[in-house]
Amino acid sequence: MTAIEVNGIRKRYGKVEALRDVSFAVKKGEVFGLIGPDGAGKTSLFRILCTLLLPDAGTAKVDGFDIISQMRDIRSRVGYMPGRFSLYQDLTVEENLHFFATLFGTTVDEGYDSIKAIYQQIERFRHRKAGALSGGMKQKLALSCALVHRPSVLFLDEPTTGVDPVSRKEFWEMLTMLRERDITILASTPYLDEVRCCERVAFLSEGQVKGIDKPDVILDRFADVFNPPPIAQPAVMNPQPARQENVIEVSHLVKAFGSFHAVDDISFTVRRGEIFGFLGANGAGKTTAMHMLTGLNQPTSGTGHVVGYDIRTEYEQIKKHIGYMSQKFSLYEDLTVAENIRLFAGIYGMNDRDIKTKTDALLERLQFAEHKDDLVGSLPLGWKQKLAFSVSIFHEPGVVFLDEPTGGVDPATRRQFWELIYDAAHRGITVFVTTHYMDEAEYCDRISIMVDGKIKAMGTPDELKGKYRQPDMDHVFTYLARQATRSSD
């Protein structure tokens, strides 16, 4: 029996044809993957199937109901979990769940059995606001909200972006439970291990379905997109005295919130031009530590220096001499490419002549010259990512902090981004990066892994794999992260 039927769907936004004659079918109870590069049209298709967006042409049915003439019937039968979650940050866990139950004309009590196995894992935090939850907990709450009305079809649009590897594995274990209840699941994901959890996948590129088959067949057929060759890291030009200089020095750093130590006595150094991976599960304390290093928050105790400035007393100077790029990027979507560059260069105190010269050179290097007057909001995700990184190091800072900069980005685009990172490090810029992609951890010169607010391990990727007798960094991370004991996550 077919649960989802898509026939000749088309969708256009102005001159951009997001979907072109898309057709496929998903069997009842199947876990079906929708994969493809950024800007392929996946989110548009999800919104059409969830009746949030009308197609320009074509037809589709969900659970036997037409997406246009019977949208009310569909909305009562589907669950939708978009990327970045669909939670209300100012409502508590319990309030979010009651709100979504009410939307679907049911109650938490009526739907409790359908979410019990998942919700019980976070129920003791029911009075905590959603905005204060870790990524893994938000994930479980969002899934509970999507399931509380007992849907027959579940749409998941990159539900694990920004979530650590251990929480991702737990999430897909939960999906396996749902499959046993005969719930049909259509999911998109940029993670190859999650792609392989699907029974079949459709590869969507430039708005068209290029192939439908078992995961390994599609991943092999389109290996240039999903499995690009690894980056050969350029040899660091040693010995250079400058490269032996420490640009980050941390000693016994603590950040406490009442009796809870988010960061609990950490010490480390990072050298000039080094690519330093700062890893940890959601809630391990790495974001809190990064906020102290970037001058956004002051420590409870301990000392730290970044590019020679004291994180306790000279945090305003630190902000002027570092670069920072978050997962959500720091660009203004309603400004053009050139206007964004000019704005941030001015904030960093660069003069007009240098701004103009370096802007022209940057646009040429990124091959953005023809798009300098395009609004940033109109750019593909991968382009925004490269522009945001380039803007963050436009003033040649001593250190650039990258907080999960490649979240939700396809492998080929991530590879291009890491080529930019290598280039920056080669020029002597220290790169301090957090990531949930363990293949990216392999690209770092050294790695630290935080567990329960402490640095549990530190070394090169090869040193850590050897020490813990694990085949790759994914296994190293999972081995250490599963030793976490504090329940506040």
**pLDDT tens, N- to C-terminus, the chain (489 residues):** 899 999 999 999 888 899 999 999 999 999 999 999 877 899 999 999 999 999 999 999 999 999 999 999 999 999 998 876 678 989 999 999 999 999 888 999 998 888 888 888 888 899 999 888 877 788 889 889 999 999 999 999 988 887 888 888 888 988 888 888 889 999 999 889 999 999 999 999 989 999 999 999 999 999 988 888 877 665 544 445 455 789 999 999 999 988 889 999 999 999 999 999 999 987 888 889 999 999 889 999 999 999 999 999 998 899 889 999 887 667 898 999 999 999 988 888 888 888 988 998 999 888 888 888 999 888 877 788 889 999 999 999 999 999 888 877 778 888 888 999 999 999 999 999 999 889 899 999 999 999 999 999 999 999 999 999 999 999 999 999 888 876 444
pTM, rounded to two decimals:
0.82
Q: What is the pLDDT of residue 103?
A: 87
- Alpha-carbon distances, residue 489 vs 138, 209, 211, 451, 463 (angstroms): 10, 39, 40, 11, 28
CB atoms within 10 A of CB 238: 9
CA angle at residue 268 from 405 to 287, to 5 degrees?
35
Q: What is the pLDDT of residue 239?
A: 43
Residue type, 281: A
Which tokens go with 67?
């997406």
* Sign of the torsion angle spanned by Cα atoms 164, 165, 168, 170: negative
Q: What is the pLDDT of residue 488?
A: 43
149 HSE (CA, 13 A, CB side)? 20
Buried b vs exposed e over 138-149: b needs ≥16 C-beta within 10 Å? Answer: bbbbbbbbbbbb
Q: What is the pLDDT of residue 237?
A: 43
CB 32 within 8 A of CB 202: yes
| Tokens 């010995």 sit on residue | 239
* Sign of the torsion angle spanned by Cα atoms 121, 125, 127, 130: negative
- Alpha-carbon distances, residue 35 vs 186, 209, 229, 345, 418 (angstroms): 10, 10, 19, 37, 22
Alpha carbons 62 and 78: distance in angstroms, whole number:
8
Alpha carbons 457 and 448: distance in angstroms, whole number:
6
Q: What is the pLDDT of residue 329?
A: 65
Q: What is the pLDDT of residue 238?
A: 43
Q: What is the pLDDT of residue 455?
A: 95
